[in-house]
Structure 1
Amino acid sequence: MATNTVNEGGILRDARSRYQLRAESGAHGAFDAEVSRSGKTPRSEVTVRRGTAPAWAASLLSSGEDSVIRERRMYVDDRLVQLADTVLPASVAEAAPQVAQEDTGVGGIISRMADAGLTQTDVVEDVALIQASADQAAALGVSEGDSLLTITHVGSTADGQVVEVTRHIVGPGWTLRYGVPLS
């Protein structure tokens, strides 16, 4: 399994290993580990609030309860490369309170959920193209209406409970790598 994380100056998001290596060298999540492995410096600006799940996440959550919403602006060195919004059911934050903190510690929210017995055993990621809104374009350095990739991550426990929905909007320079076992 290849572990390189930069493709001609870009970022390689390798779904085959990113969740297992999320705490590598003390990283605070998969993004930190991927960027650090490339020799670059990851940084995130995080805002956490409680509220109603946005429409794009509400239909994927199994309950209508209040949510914890983590809005992140993610940087490689000083370049903003990703907007990532995570929505967690409030019950997940009650079981794993650190997920509602700006700094979730080594391994990030997936590790904090696992510590609380909410291990993600099933992950589905949908990748789609969207047209950049004015705000997204300004943030990611593209023109309004340009195509951007979105990755919608839905993480569930062994009993089928959806514990995380994250929408990643990535700027230019990303390579997404997925693998499919054939045996």
Structure 2
Amino acid sequence: MPNNIIGADGITRDARSRYRQRAEGGAHGAFEAEVKRAGGAPRAEVEVLRGAAPGDVAAILGKEAGEEVVIRQRRMYAGEHLVQLAVTYIPEFVAAAAPAVAQLDTGQGGIISRMADAGLAQTDVVEDVTQVPATADQAAALGVEEGEPLLAITHIGRTEAGQIVEVTRHVLGRGWTLRYGVPLD
């Protein structure tokens, strides 16, 4: 398939363009746009709730342990194959300004577009990529062995003013390629 996003070589997550092209073809976010562009059938099971972020995420958000945030839990599929688990933590001030981020269907472009519509555009993104051992739940969901190393991406989105508006933890199943580009000015 085009761009090796889906196919025999797995899925390529291309950070060079994924956030700018997140609404391409009416997509409801970057994952959906990438999979559609490759000719695949994206699907996500979404659960939205309010609760406390894990301690390390709360610290990134500048929140006290136990402080309530909006939590978007997603199981993301290419066709019928579960390829990614993603949990997004959104501060309450963002949900107040952009209420659609707490809806199941966030519309074309997804939560990043809804934040931008509310004046909270992400202009700086940092993504830390690490290997984590699959938990029992992750292993069962992604069809791997418990303890198997998986790629995990922690996405931190900031506004031009430096406000952190989301932290997303992506855990990827087997077969992913992560592509990044660095301008050499």
TM-score by length of 1: 0.96
CA contact (8 A) 1:45 1:74 kept: yes
Quote how far apart the aligned CAs of 1:16 are: 0.2
| Paired position in structure 1 for 2:110 | 108
Counting only pairs closer than 5 Å after superposition, residues 20-99 of structure 1 correspond to structure 2 as: 20-64=20-64, 65-99=67-101
Between the aligned residues of both structures, percent identity stands at: 65
Provide the secondary structure at the position in 1 that maps to 2:122: coil
Matches within 5 A, 1:107-126: 107-126=109-128
Tell whether 2:36 aligns with 1:18: no
Query: Within 2, Cα distance between the matches of 1:15 and 1:120?
Result: 14
Query: CA offsets, 1:87-140, max 9 Å, x none?
Result: 000110000000000110000000000000000010000000000011100000
Residue correspondences, number: 182
Does structure 2 retain, via aligned residues, the 8 Å contact 1:27–1:33?
yes
Counterpart of 2:32, as a letter, is D
Runs of 4+ in 1 over 4 A off after TM superposition: none
TM-align CA RMSD: 1.3
Partner letter of residue 48 of structure 1?
V
Give the Å deviation of 1:158: 0.6
Task: Please give the alpha-carbon distance, in whole angstroms, between the structure 2 residues aligned to 1:4 and 1:106.
Answer: 24
Give TM-score, length-normalised by structure 2: 0.95
**Structure 2 unmatched ranges of 5 or more:** none
Q: What residue ranges of structure 1 are gaps of 5+ in the alignment?
A: none
Of 163, 166, 172 in structure 1, the residue corresponding to residue 165 of structure 2 is 163
Whether contact under 8 Å (2:71, 2:87) holds in the other structure is: yes
